[in-house]
Amino acid sequence: MRIIAGKHRGRKLAPFEGYSIRPTPDRVKESLFQILQPRLAGARVLDLFAGTGALGLEALSRGASEAVFNDIDEVSLALLKKNLAALGESATVYSLPFEDCLARAEGRFDVIFCDPPYKEAYCERVLTAVAAKKLLNAGGLVVYESEREEVAPAGWRISDRRGYGRTKVFFFSEDGE
pLDDT, residue 15, reads 75
pLDDT, residue 43, reads 98
pLDDT, residue 177, reads 59
- pTM for the whole thing? 0.94
Q: Is-contact 62 6, C-beta < 8 A?
A: yes
Mean pLDDT, the chain cut into blocks of 10 residues (177 residues total): 89 71 76 95 97 94 97 92 95 97 96 91 96 96 95 95 93 86
Find, among 92, 97, 1, the residue nearest to 49 by Cα.
97
Q: CA-to-CA distance for 134 and 155, rounded, in angstroms?
A: 12
Q: CA-to-CA distance for 49 and 62, rounded, in angstroms?
A: 20
E strands, the chain, in order: 44-47, 66-70, 92-94, 109-114, 136-146, 156-164, 167-174
Q: Which domains does the chain have, with CATH numbers?
A: 26-174 (3.40.50.150)
